[in-house]
Chains A and B, each alone.
Chain A
Amino acid sequence: IIDNIPLNGPTVNVLASENFIHQSMSIIVENAIKKATDVREKVCEWRSPEQLKELLDLELRDGGESESEILQRFKDAIRYSVKTTHPHFFNQLYAGMEPYSMVASFIIEALKPSLYTYEVAPVFTLAEEAVLKKMMELIGWKDGGDGIFNAGGSMSNMYAVNLARYRCCPDIKENGLSAAPRLVMFTSQECHYSISKAAALLGIGTKNVYAIPSDERGKMIPSALEEQILSAKSEGAVPFMVNATAGTTVLGAFDPIDVIADICEKHNLWLHVDACWGGAALVSSKHKHLLKGIHRADSVAWNPHKMLMACLQCSAFMVRDKTSLLQRCHSARASYLFQQDKFYDVSYDTGDKSVQCSRKPDAFKIWLMWKALGSKELEQRVDRALAMARYLAEEIKKREGFRLLMEVAPVIKERMMKKGSMMVGYQPHGEKANFFRMIIISPQVSRQDMDFVLDEINNLGKDL
């Protein structure tokens, strides 16, 4: 015993702890998995922030609590959380429950590895490599390329910007942007806002992101892109990158990649395709035409945690390059991780490709799932989701009163949340008033659920 602290045994009673884990797991299975996916249960148990704060007793104190108290807190956290796996959760670009991916997540949490070197995460390093290889195959890069999984699609888009500018002016890494001419990038007005955040963070500046108008379907207008590139050049700026979106956030539109690729080739610009949402169409032979031309991209972002339902986060960034560009652009060669005198092939150490140090093995969540289901099943799910959306669209056309929403949307939203019957997001768009955006992903969702959505909106808004 030193300083009143006994050192001879572990602090933790392993047996009691394992028992605790078993009990927590039972609670998770019962409440966060079984009930959460049950259409007869609520999607959310709405409480106002003040009420919820009181209920949860969040304050952190000096003393600990008993096991039963902790298990009750566990139950409360589940009870008042939104059930994103519920069949009536349509709020975001992720939904549903994928048990194989969840198991992969549990494995990851239990092992808690970090992915920077082969030695600390051998299995996960190889799994990431295998997944990226398959995804690049689906993109159509016959010679393969390079890639890495990131903490979200926003980060993947940032990587694209960073690589594009590094290729254009490699000195930027050492000298910073002040040493370079004013760089300009192009993206559609419908693009994800991470493009803007990327420009700000990377020091390019949001005003140097030129927004290209889109047509009435939400697709980038290529002639407008051409115009703005020429305009930027005439200003003395240096265009370096175009971001094309495959599956825009609000309208789900696909930019015409092939035509945009022609323009990029002509002006020698890096073409990045943000396929975070729409990349899933690549697994479907029926729908992959939506991304026609994607093989011509220099880089692609694709989030399996969206339509493919891998657990959050699962975001891939891929680059069609075989010159270790990713590594060269990001490396800092820290000697406490990337020793060159290791006893295995150090090209398996992926850490220096990243701007992160510790990094979760997110690719494993899609790997186990893919092994369990196979590409054909994934294809079937994507096809089904799209068919379901088409059904919904047709039904809406048939029903009266589903046109104008305006001030009605926030009220209906409030009512559905407080009732806990479903969750659908709304937003304004351009000059359009608020409208609901339905996201259909989960194979657990069926036609009855589509009918339910329309009936429920009708019910909730009857008096409006």
Chain B
Amino acid sequence: MEQASLRDLNEPLIDHAEGQFFLNEAFKIIMEEVLSNGTDVKQKVCEWKEPEELALLLDLGVRETGEPRDKLLQRVRDVAKYSVKTSHPHFFNQQYGGVDYHSLAGRFLTEALNTNLFTYEAAPVFVLMENEVLRGLRQLVGWTEGDGIFCPGGSTSNMYAMNLARYQRFPEVKSQGVWALPRLSIFTSPESHYSVKKGAAFLGIGLDNVIFVKVDDRGRLIPEDLDEKIELSKSQGAVPFLVSCMSGTTVQGVFDPLDHIADICDKHKLWMHVDACWGGSVLFSKKHRHLMKGVDRANSVAWNPHKMLVAGLQCSALLLKDTTNLLKQCHSANATYLFQQDKFYDVNLDIGDKSVQCSRKVDCLKLWLMWKAVGSMGLEERVDKAFIHARYLVEQMKKREGFQLLSMVAPVIKERMMKQGTMMVGYQPLGNKVNFFRVTVFSPLLSQKDMDFFLDEIERLGKDL
């Protein structure tokens, strides 16, 4: 019985010609639906359908047999049609809108080459490239040396910082666990990203040990309160070890006063982590980098080029000032099937053990290609332009009546914009403020017209409210 199946082993099983034809045809659809129509201001941002209706339309169930090419190409069209066009000029919903064609090409190539970054032998080009990109980012932070890695998202970057801070202070935690330690405490502002909380829970530190520091009326962390809270925590028998502050908060885009915070971290000898996932890109701009003055005094910085730089999800860097190989020591497991020490090249290039991941995607190519294409000056221009758009929007809003109170109006306007597909803007409550819209503006496709459109459209959608 075995021999019969062995006969089949003489030839490859699949016919690449068919696969490549499908790829070509599908690519044409992607170009048309996602890149042309998807960025066309005359087209919808989204084609809203209720979940049950959409599930039926898409015919999601997988079956025993495959499908013919035409049906599959129609599926590609359907997926494009019913997906949100995040590159559309009127997609203001999240912090990753817009499109850059160089990073897009980099992303397509990343997928086609399909590999992991753990060793030089598996990904020689990309191991070297990631190193160079991290160096470039560190330079903007103000560090001539250091370490770093790309993570699957800013939440992971923040978690890494937390883990490193803990390990540096108490290296025994790696083998003995949290039981070998006193109770630890973390300090952050209530405006910080929720990944600080998720990280504390995940790492076994506990949500209750995340202490929230007061913010001023603009949403900036108050350093004096940080100092007080640290003293209080110590007096309660805990060991403060980390301050996680923000350069560009999620909802209001606020920048914490890093220099003052650094003073306090120095005083108490705490690890200072700056979550600059959103705001880090201001470091490209001579005009706006002052917002992050003092960042070079931090121990670690998280920065997501997939946000303001439009590199495409995911592209999240964790940058470290450390030069003692802390990252590797903290995370290594020395697996012998990957990190043999008798390799024929310098095994320091095998960066896999710096990560808690095993397989890890190549996230640097998209950023590198874009950076090469437009240069640091090109990226600076984009950041500056984004700020100008935002300023213009604020000025226009002040001029228009009725743009103050939103309350219960926001969810209704949101529903209408989704169902009509004209634009996407997120809303949320904040502290004791009611629902309000949060507009993120930085795509290089945007122009003043789009800002005007946003204001006009909100008025139009909410006319009767």
Contact = CB atoms under 8 A, between A and B. Distances in A.
B86 to A, nearest CB: 5
A317 interface: no
Contacts, number: 546
B447 interface: yes
A140 B210 CA distance: 40
B125 A374 contact: no
Interface in B412-450: 414-415, 418, 424, 426-430, 435, 438, 444-449
A84 interface: yes
Contacts of B213: none
Contacts of B233: none
Contacts of A357: 153-155, 193-195
B25 to A, nearest CB: 9
A220 interface: no
A112 B72 contact: no
Given A49-B124, A336-B251, A61 B22 contact: no
A177 B177 contact: yes
Contacts of A2: 388, 392
Given A124-B83, A176-B208, A201-B163, 17 more contacts: A3-B388, A8-B449, A48-B345, A58-B129, A62-B376, A65-B375, A82-B124, A91-B122, A97-B114, A98-B19, A113-B83, A122-B48, A151-B361, A176-B183, A176-B209, A177-B204, A339-B429
A300 interface: no
B109 interface: yes
A15 to B, nearest CB: 10
B35 A8 contact: no
Interface stretch (B168-176, B255-263, B291-299): B168-176
Contact of B51 (A100, A126, A155, A367): A126
B72 A358 contact: no
B428 A172 contact: no
A360 B314 contact: yes
Contacts of B89: 10
A134 interface: yes
A380 B79 CA distance: 28
B241 interface: no
A114 B385 contact: no
B115 A410 contact: no
Given A5-B388, A62-B377, A176-B204, A123 B82 contact: yes
Given A200-B174, A356-B153, A126 B60 contact: yes
Given A114-B94, A130-B61, A311-B114, A448 B20 contact: no
Contacts of A231: none
Contacts of B465: none
Interface residues of B, number: 185
Contacts of A464: none
B436 to A, nearest CB: 11
Interface in A30-67: 32-34, 36-37, 44, 46-49, 52-53, 56, 58-65
A367 B359 CA distance: 21
Nearest to A387: B5
Contacts of A29: 20, 23-24
B289 interface: no
Interface string A168-196: 00001111111100110000000011101
B26 A106 contact: yes
Contacts of A12: 99-101, 444-445
Given A112-B86, A358-B96, A154 B358 contact: yes
**Which 4 residue pairs spanning A and B have beta carbons closest together?**
A203-B204, A205-B177, A176-B206, A99-B19
Given A106-B27, A111-B85, A375 B94 contact: no
Interface in A361-403: 364, 367-368, 370-377, 380-381, 383-384, 387-388, 390-391
A343 B414 contact: yes
A402 B112 CA distance: 35
A49 B345 contact: yes
Contact of A59 (B12, B132, B357): B132
Given A61-B375, A176-B208, A357-B193, A203 B203 contact: yes
Given A33-B112, A177-B178, A387-B5, A356 B345 contact: no
